[in-house]
Amino acid sequence: MGSKISIAVLASGRGSNFQAIINGIAKGEVNADIKVLITNNPEAQAIERAKKAKIPIEIIDEKKSGMREQLDLEIKKTLDKYNVDLVVLAGYMKLIKSKELLQAYRNRIINIHPSLLPAFQGLHAQKQAFDYGAKVSGLTIHFLDEQLDHGPIIYQEAVDISDCKDEEEAAEKILNREHKAYKKVIDSFSKGKYVIEGRRAKFVPY
Ligand code: GRF
């Protein structure tokens, strides 16, 4: 077994993936420590979840004047302070644009997107899939790069949404699988490393 990794979680809202990671750690399924929750939204439900789990919280409110340009840089400063191995985006709704942040944390920031990329990029991917009439959608976990929902792919999973009666049901079905998949992928970082081969991130065990 590899050594425990330390992670920072970035979330903007509900935080159900964040909660799944907290629960996974408590159950011994995820070999990690959450050093900090960073949020851009002072109203995020994720904050309550962090409080309950006694995880330090850093709120970087981009609505405060002049902050938007500064947001990524403030995030970088905060990440540097907590000295984490991995940065986990879990419903973080801002595009990370800063070259400084992206370069400093290259292949150490992961994101989960609720579709099989490159299909249905951007917001409301589950609604996009449902409205398109897709019978199969899914989830993608990838490293972050300069483009939206684009970086090297770590993991993908298909989800059958053909019987879902509306977009909410499709989103719920996908979300359930997201929780399980994200826990497994985060845990894998304690057991090996990912080597980038073209568009793919290939797992190499320790
Ligand atoms: C998830 O569907 C995730 O794939 C997407 O944003 C949503 C976040 O949900 N990036 P939650 O905040 O984890 O409940």
Predicted confidence (pLDDT) at residue 67 exceeds the cutoff of 80: no
pLDDT at position 1 is 56
Average pLDDT value for the chain: 96
Which two three-digit tokens encode residue 120? 């249905």
Q: Percentage helix, strand, coil, to 5, in the chain?
A: 35, 25, 40
State the average pLDDT over residues 66-77.
87
- Quick: pLDDT tens for 30-43: 999 999 999 999 99
SS3 call for 132: helix
Q: Which fold has domain 5-205?
A: Rossmann fold (3.40.50)
User: What pLDDT, on the 0 to 100 scale, is given for residue 130?
Assistant: 98
Clarify whether 150 is annotated catalytic. Answer: no
Give the Å distance between the CA of 110 and the centre of ligand 1. 13
Query: Distance between alpha carbon 179 and the CA centroid of its chain, in Å?
Result: 10
Q: What is the pTM of this model?
A: 0.97
- Is the pLDDT score of 64 beyond 90? no
**Contact 90 CB / ligand 1 (< 6 Å):** yes
Looking at per-residue pLDDT, the higher value among 70 and 158 belongs to 158
- Does residue 50 have a pLDDT over 70? yes
Q: What confidence score (pLDDT) does residue 104 get? A: 97
Q: What is the average pLDDT across 191-198? A: 96
Q: Answer positive or negative: Cα dihedral of 24, 16, 56, 110.
A: positive
Instruction: Give how far the C-alpha of residue 98 lies from the chain's centroid of Cα atoms, to the nearest Å.
Output: 18
In the chain, what are the domain boundaries?
Answer: 5-205
- Pocket-testing residue among 23, 175, 179, 185, ligand 1, by greatest number of atoms within 8 A of Cβ: 175
48 φ, ψ (degrees, to nearest 5): -60, -40
